[in-house]
Amino acid sequence: MAALDRDAISALDEAHLLEDILGMPAQLGDALWRVESARLEAHDTPGGLVVAGMGGSAIGGALARAALGDQASRPILAARGYGLPPWTTPDTTVLCVSYSGDTEETLACYDAAGALGAHRVVVTAGGRLAALAREDGVGVIPLPTGFQPRAALAYVLVSALEVAALCGAAPHLAAEIDVAAGHLQALAEEWGPDGAEDSLAKSLAHQLSSTIPVIVGAGLTAQIAYRWKTQINENAKLPAYWSEIPELDHNEIAGWAGAASLGPFSAIFLDDSDSHPRLRARIELTQAIIAPVARFTSIVHTRGESALERVCSLVLLGDLTSFYLAILAGVDPTPVTALTEIKQALAERE
């Protein structure tokens, strides 16, 4: 079994992506400071919050909604595309998130929100989005440069949480964010490269290696499952899929009957300590059905007290597991050549 130590990692991780992943605890605190430095004014919007973004710039909003749970008093929705949800009204806050500031879908949503007369806030490290916001007098939460967009998740998560509070959709969670940072630091030390070789993140990477992973979430963990899937795609450059219980048990479960004849599939079930008892029962029963036809299955649990701590715990675990998968596959986790090729090809068609 290949060792996942500093030497093996440094041979492939040329851009030091690991340090950005392990820096997530500190990034939570820095993100709070950046929101405060933006000096945004509270702007009560009964229509709630729409988070417009793509890829790593979008998932922070979805995870913020999961972390808020029933503390959210108004809708908090995602817009992943060229337009806003049709029910968006002028009484809605639209948070436009693009790390580069040049994501064409997010720029389209920014324009649509302006035409609608909705209150806008921008989260970006620069680019055209920052320039437009300055021209329009729109508040900007500045992101630090030098990150891969997917590694700036903590900044987007905190920004979404704080803007949700400012628009009246949720309470402020600054104190919980500080506590979550300390909790995450302990987990980073446990699961990081200097931790035991049989730590959870390294063990999962070894078990998932050479398989096609399907990540399954339920309730709080549904969007975390999506994050795991995309991190495996981008970091390890491997196909991966995600699903959600209970919906999986009403259709997809039937397809697993043919899994063994098609390839080495694996399934990871993400469970939360506060899951509905029926969701937990479904996870256990679904694993029992899938296990005989899969190369590997496992149920992984959140760790922490608050919903935010628990969300962050599984996000960090997924980020590290996907990173270690890249090392085991012998690939540099940072470059995403296919994404760049698509953007360049689209630019040629303008």
According to the model, what pLDDT value does residue 1 have? Answer: 65
Same domain, 24 and 150: yes
Residues 171 and 210 in one domain: no
Burial class (CB in 10 A: 0-12, 13-18, 19+), 232: buried
Q: What is the pLDDT of residues 96-129, one digit of tens each?
A: 999 999 999 999 999 999 999 999 999 999 999 9
Same domain, 167 and 201: no
Residues in the chain: 350
- 301: annotated active-site residue: no
Q: Which domain holds residue 37?
A: 17-177
Residues 243 and 291 in one domain: yes
Considering its fold, how many domains does the chain have in total?
2
What's the pLDDT score for residue 57?
Answer: 87
Tens digit of each residue's pLDDT (9 = 90 or more) over 126-161: 999 999 999 999 999 999 999 999 999 999 999 999
Instruction: Decide if 120 contacts 76 (C-beta within 8 A).
Output: no
234 is annotated as an active-site residue: yes
Q: Out of 41, 250, 348, 350, pick the active-site residue.
A: 250
Residues 218 and 279 placed together within one structural domain of the fold: yes
235 and 196 within one domain: yes
CB atoms within 10 A of CB 204: 25
Q: Residue 297, SS3?
A: strand
State yes or no: is 183 an active-site residue: no
- Looking at the domain assignment, is residue 338 inside a domain? no
Mean pLDDT, rounded, for 220-227: 98
Q: Which among 16, 172, 276, 343 is annotated as catalytic?
A: 343
User: Do 127 and 263 lie in a common domain?
Assistant: no
Q: Which of 162, 176, 234, 309 is catalytic?
A: 234
Pair (213, 146) in one structural domain: no
Domain termination residue (choose one: 125, 143, 177): 177
- Whether residue 254 lies inside any domain: the answer is yes
Q: Is residue 334 part of a domain?
A: no
Kindly report the backbone phi and psi dihedral angles of residue 298, in degrees, each rounded to the nearest multiple of 5, phi listed first.
Answer: -160, 150
279-335 confidence digits (pLDDT tens): 999 999 999 999 999 999 999 999 999 999 999 999 999 999 999 999 999 999 999
- In this structure, are 95 and 235 located in the same domain? no
The domain that holds 162 is classified in CATH as 3.40.50.10490
Residue 49's H or E segment, with its range, is strand 49-52
